Amino acid sequence: MTNNVLVGVKNIGQRLFGGYAELLRIPHTARFSVGSVIACMPFPMVGMTITISVQHYYGNYSLAGALTAVQAIALAVTSPVLGKLVDKFGQRQVSIPTIIVWMVAAISLVSCITARVPSWILFCIVPFMAAIPPWGAMSRQRWTTLLKGDAEKTNRALSLSGVFDECMWVIGNPLASTLAVISGLLAFSFTGICVVVGALMFLTELTTEPKSQTQLAREAGMTRKEYRERETARSKALQTEAAVEYARDKARAEGKTAAEVKAAMQKAATDIAAGSKESIWGPGLIAVCVTWFGLGAFQSAAGISIVAFATEAHMKQFTGFVFACFSFSSLIGALVYGAKNWTIPLWKRFYFCLAVVNLGIGSFMFAKHLWVIMIIYLCIGVCQAPTWVNGNQLMLHLVPPTRFTEGMAWMGAMNSIGGSVGSAIAGQFIDRMGSRGGFIVVTALALTSLAIAMLGFKQIKESTEQPTLTNVSA
């Protein structure tokens, strides 16, 4: 009996984790995957450390919210730029100077906060805290390059990246709240060590580093501009072919005549040809980015509102553990989601997970205790990582592989801009009405975000019917 149970558990474990283990057994993949997660520690730790430290030394949630908003806006501005530079010049060439800028800014900021300098000085330093290489996008680009042509393994690799991301949040959130309560210097010092260690692991792994556009153009004997024009033309040809086939099949399914089928195919080709030849922006990418703006807005507002709620209940030291519950649940969701080869259309999975997260966090307004929020987080967190994985998979349909880092950076940038808006608005309401005012903002933003996502339904659904752009490299 016991042996049967053990065999059953082993089979379940193999089914859930066998695919992930297979990916990590590929030479060198474990090193860059783990390194990117360690180097990403500024994402969960910096915002919470700033919020707790500023509230402790200055006693002002509005200032804390405004500073995190400025940092988020700066991150939104710099991320696409850094992503584009990475695609053009290479991951190491861009990451090393960026890390140096971040380290200097971190040391300056914590020194000024503990010294209670005038707030305008903090606003001058905080933007430089956005000098963070796009580790997650760079890691995903390595996976998509390494697994080019294998859609199932690529999707599982993106889920694995989501699992690692959630591990970072599970560890980073409680650490940030605990260390920041003890000392802001201690929290920033730990974060700096993580950045250095993770960067060394990631950037010294050279065998999996994708070639930059500059390298590919040099090998082709072209300038970078000529190379991008050639590859963009190939991308456009692939999109045209797919659009024509889709229009033909749709017209035939509707019982159209041969002449009408031919006209529909010609119209599809004309519509694609009329689009921009250089820009990655299209209706689908715009819809995804606007959706991510709303997602960032209400989740950021929820974060600062929970800190205020816990402070009022004299439970501030437990805030990190509440966020860690969300991340832990999300980690479980990512593990299960990536282990299954889904047949349900991508757009249906995307909207289901998004609705669960939005409506769940929107219900915080009715919570009477911090542990109730934690339980809600545990229940809805299973859809958090799958939401991001679905967004990553949408990107594979929307941008060519060697502009994948740029596309991902834009998605993250819009999420950061939304986060800055959400935290700034919530901070104002918290100072006036307490944590309840913050949760009112959270609910309003969550419902608005879901409505915005539904407005882009047509564009997002249609994007999933296009092929992934894995046959071109620009």
Q: How far is 238 from 244, CA to CA, in rounded Å?
A: 10
12-26, 182-196, 199-213, 424-438: range with highest mean pLDDT? 199-213
Please give the average per-residue pLDDT across 462-469, as a whole number: 62
pLDDT at residue 13 tops 60: no
| 160, pLDDT greater than 80 | no
Summarised one tens digit per residue, pLDDT across range 402-414 is 566 677 777 777 8
> Quick one: pLDDT at residue 473?
41
**Count of H helices and E strands in the chain?**
20, 0
More confident residue, 331 or 125: 125
- To the question of pTM greater than 0.75 for the whole model, the response is no
pLDDT of residue 278: 47
Contact status, residue 83 vs residue 405, Cβ threshold 8 Å: yes
pLDDT for the residue numbered 277: 43
3-state secondary structure of 394: helix
Amino acid, single-letter form, for residue 221: G
Contacts of 115 (CB under 8 A, 6+ apart): none
pLDDT at 375: 87
* SS3 of residue 232 by DSSP: helix
Of 50 and 465, which is predicted with more confidence? 50
Least confident stretch, 113-117, 142-146, 248-252, 360-364? 248-252
Q: Worst-scoring range by mean pLDDT, 87-91, 317-321, 381-385? A: 317-321
Q: With contact defined as beta carbons under 8 Å apart, do 367 and 302 qualify?
A: no
Predicted pLDDT at 472:
39
Q: So what's the pLDDT on residue 275?
A: 53
Specify whether the CB–CB gap between 192 and 103 falls below 8 A: yes
pLDDT at 348: 86
**pLDDT for 295-316, tens place per residue?**
788 777 887 788 788 888 777 7
What is the percentage of the chain residues whose pLDDT exceeds 90?
Answer: 1
Residue 114 pLDDT level (bands cut at 50, 70, 90):
confident
**Confidence (pLDDT) at 471:** 42
Q: Which CATH superfamily includes the segment(s) 19-204+279-464?
A: MFS general substrate transporter like domains (1.20.1250.20)
Most confident segment among 62-71, 176-185, 239-248, 348-357: 348-357
* Structure confidence at residue 173 (pLDDT): 61
- The better pLDDT of the pair 164, 184 is held by 164
Q: What's the residue count for the chain?
A: 474
| Three-state DSSP class for residue 112 | helix
Q: Is 250 exposed, middle or buried (0-12, 13-18, 19+ CB in 10 A)?
A: middle
Both tokens of 78, joined, read 């710099």
Higher pLDDT, 202 or 49: 202
Instruction: Tell me what percent of the chain is helix, strand and coil, each rounded to the nearest 5.
Output: 85, 0, 15
Q: What average pLDDT does range 65-83 have in this prediction?
A: 80
pLDDT computed for residue 360 by the predictor: 86
- At residue 5, the pLDDT reads 55
Which letter does DSSP use for residue 128 in this model?
G
Residue 131's pLDDT band, with cuts at 50, 70 and 90, is confident
The amino acid present at 179, given as its one-letter code, is L
pLDDT at 324 over 60: yes
The letter for the amino acid at 285 is: L
Helix (H) or strand (E) holding 246: helix 224-253
Do 387 and 291 form a contact (C-beta atoms < 8 A)?
no
DSSP 134: -
Average pLDDT, the chain: 77
| Res. 181: pLDDT tops 50 | yes
| Better-scored residue on pLDDT, 387 or 464 | 387
Rounded distance, CA 360 to CA 148, Å? Answer: 36
The pLDDT of residue 233 is above 80: no
Q: How far apart are CA 445 and CA 86, in angstroms?
A: 33
Biggest distance spanned by C-alpha atoms of the chain: 77
Residue 85 has pLDDT above 80, yes or no: yes
**CATH 1.20.1250.20 residue spans of the chain:** 19-204+279-464
CB 359 within 8 A of CB 450: yes
Query: How many CA atoms within 13 Å lie on the side-chain side of 162?
Result: 30
